[in-house]
A and B are shown apart, each in its own frame.
Chain A
Amino acid sequence: MAVVNVEEEAPDTRRRVLLAVGVLGLFAAGIFAAFAIGGSSETSAGAETPQGAYEQLFESLANEDLIGAAEILLPGERDSLIQPWFDMVEQYKRLEVLDPALDLSAVPGIDLEFSDLEFETTQISEDLMSVKLVGGTAVSSVDPMKLPLGPLVLDRLPEGTIPDEIETGIGSVDPLDLNQDNGLVAVRRDGRWYVSLWYTVAEAAREQGGLPLPDPSDRIRPRGESTAELAVEEFVRSSIDLDVRRLIELLPPGEADALHDYAPLFLDDVEAAGRETRNLMGDIGLEIDLVRLDLTSIPRGPDRIVQFNGGEILFTSDYVDVGFDVTDGKVTVDAVIAQDEVRFSLTIVDDCFEFEISDLDGEIQDLQRECASDVENMIEEFLGQEVFVGGLPEFDIFTEQPVIGIYTVERDGQWYVSPLGTLLDTQVEVLAVIDKDKLADLVDWFIVQAEENLAIL
C-alpha cells in the first residue's frame, strides 16, 4: 500500500499550478507580443476614418503631442519631414537661436485649443478623401515672453521689443459660408487613414486650376536606379534632356506619391514646353553634352549622400562653345567665340583663379591671376577701414567643411533622388558645422553696422 506524504503533496500541487499558469501565460504573452511586434490594427498609426485622422491631428496639436501628430501623418511624408525637422531644431538649440532647454514635447508660449470641430467628407478616389472643416472654434494664445528664443536672439533684442501681453485669438468656422476653403486631404494606406500635406497641396492646386481628377491608370510609376550614383547621374542627364517624366519617375515613392498621382494632369503641357524649348535650342544650334560625371556616395543612416567629384559638360552653339571641366579640384571654364577668333579661359585651383584671353592660335592677349587672400586684402584696404566700423568680421564661421550632396533613398531595392531630403539635409549639415561663438560675433558685427548706418541716416 502506498504511503501518501501529505507534507510533500502540497508543494507539488502548488508547483503544478504554477507550471500551468506559467505555460498558459507564455502562450498568452506570445500572442500579445506577436500582435505588438506585427502592429495590429489597434496599435498601428493612422486612423480608422478620414475625419478621424484630422480629429486626431487637431487633438494632438491642442495637446502639443508631437508623437500623436507624427503618427497621423502619411508615413512617406512623415519620414522625409519629421527627423530633419527634429535635427534642425537641435542645431538651432546648439547655436542658441532657440532656447537650449527647449523641450519639443512642451513648447512654451503657444497654446492651442479646438472645440466642436465638424468635418464634411467628399470622396476623391478610392484612397483619397477630401475632409472639409465646416464648423468649430479655435482659440490660440501666444505669450511672447515665454517663446523659446535662445540667448543669441534674446540678448541682442532691444528692451521692450518683445511685448509682455498675451495675445489671444479666436477663430470660428461658419458652416453657412460655402466659399470657405478649408479642404484637407486624407489618404488611405494599408486600410488606415492619414493626414497628407502634399496631397492637400496637390488637390488645392487641382481645384484651383479647374482640372479633372487624375486617372489612377495614368499614375507615373516610380522607377529608380540600381545605385545611388546612377540615380543622380540619370537625374542630371534627364534634367539636361528636359525629360520631366523621367525626373518624376526618379523621385522616391512615399515622399513623392502625390506628385506621381497628380503629375499626369500637367505632364503633357510640361512635355510640350520641353519640346518647344528643344526646338528653340535647335534653331540656334545649341547642344549640351554631358561628357563625364564623377560621383561617389557616402552613407547617411539607411540613405546615401551622392557627392560630385568631377565632370565635364560642353555647350556648343552657332556663336559660342563653352566647356566646364572639374578634375581633381581644378575647375576650368573655356569659352570660344569662333566668329571673333577669341578664347576666354578661367581656371580655379585652390583659392586662386586665373583668367586668360587668347586668340585661337593660343597667343595670350591678357592674363590675370588673383587669390582669395588678395581679394580679402583689397576689400579690407578699400572698404573695410572706411565703410565698416572695426573692419570686416570673420565671415568663415564654419568649424569644418559640411558634408553635403544629393540625398538619395532606397525603396524596394531601387535608388531614388530626394529633393526634399537634399534641401533639409543640406540645411542641417550646414547648421551643424557653424561655430556658435563665431556666429554670435558675426551677428554682433551686423548689429553694429546697422546701428552705425542708421545713425548716419
Chain B
Amino acid sequence: MTPPPIAGRSRDVVAATFVLVGTVFLPWAESGSVSRSGWSIVGSARRLGVVDSTFGELFAVGFFVLPIFAFAALTMFALDRPRLVAAASGLAVVATVVVAAAVIRSSLGPRWGLWLNVATACVDGFLTIRLWRSSPISRVLEE
C-alpha cells in the first residue's frame, strides 16, 4: 500500500492544529456556576498571580500564542515545509497539554471542552509525530 503523500499529512496536521486551537475557547472548567474557557482560565491565573514561576509563565505565554502556532503551521504548509509544520504544531500540542494538565489538577470542576481539547491534542500529537517521522531528513537540510 502506498503511504499518503507528505503534503496530505501536512494538511491533516494543520487542520488538527486549528481544531486544537479552537478547543481552548470552549468551556474548560466551572467556577461555581460559571463556565470558563481555557483562554479565560489562563488569563485569570496570570492576573491572580497563580502563575508565579518562569516555567509557568513560559507555558502561559505559549498558550496565548497558540493561534500564532496554527497560522505558522499553515504558512509553512503553503511553503511546503513539512518539518516546520510539525514543529509549529508540536509546540501548540505541548503548550495545551501542559495547561490542560494544570487545569485538571486544579480545584476547578473540569468541563467537556477540556476533555475535547485533550483528545484533540492526542490526535494532533500523533499526526505531528507521523509527519515528522515521514518527512525525509534531507528536507530538514533543505529547509
Contact = CB atoms under 8 A, between A and B. Distances in A.
B109 A106 contact: yes
B43 to A, nearest CB: 6
Interface stretch (A65-73, A367-375, A399-407): A65-73
Given A18-B78, A43-B43, A106-B109, A37 B64 contact: yes
Nearest to B29: A105
A71 B71 contact: no
Contacts of B32: 60, 63-66, 68, 105-106
A26 B47 contact: no
A71 B49 CA distance: 10
A350 to B, nearest CB: 39
B52 A68 contact: no
B138 interface: no
A66 to B, nearest CB: 6
Given A29-B65, A37-B64, A302-B52, A63 B34 contact: yes
Contacts of B101: none
Contact of B107 (A15, A70, A104): A104
Interface in A11-48: 15-16, 18-19, 21-23, 25-26, 28-30, 32-33, 36-37, 39, 43-45
A301 interface: yes
Contact of A30 (B34, B68, B74): B68
A424 to B, nearest CB: 15
Interface residues of A, number: 41
Given A19-B78, A71-B44, A79 B109 contact: no
Contacts of B70: 25, 29
Given A19-B79, A63-B33, A105-B32, A82 B74 contact: no
B67 A18 contact: no
A16 B44 CA distance: 39
A317 B33 CA distance: 64
B72 A26 contact: yes
A103 interface: yes
Contacts of A219: none
Given A103-B107, A105-B32, A19 B44 contact: no
A26 B71 CA distance: 5
B34 A44 contact: no
B132 interface: no
Interface of A: 15-16, 18-19, 21-23, 25-26, 28-30, 32-33, 36-37, 39, 43-45, 60, 63-68, 70-71, 75, 78-79, 82-83, 86, 103-106, 301-302
28 contacts: A16-B78, A18-B78, A21-B74, A22-B74, A25-B71, A28-B67, A32-B67, A33-B67, A36-B39, A36-B43, A37-B64, A39-B43, A39-B46, A43-B43, A45-B47, A60-B32, A63-B31, A63-B34, A65-B34, A66-B31, A68-B32, A68-B34, A78-B49, A103-B107, A104-B107, A105-B109, A106-B30, A301-B52
Given A29-B67, A65-B32, 4 more contacts: A32-B67, A67-B31, A83-B50, A103-B107
Interface of B: 29-34, 36, 39, 41, 43-44, 46-50, 52, 61, 64-65, 67-68, 70-72, 74-80, 107-109
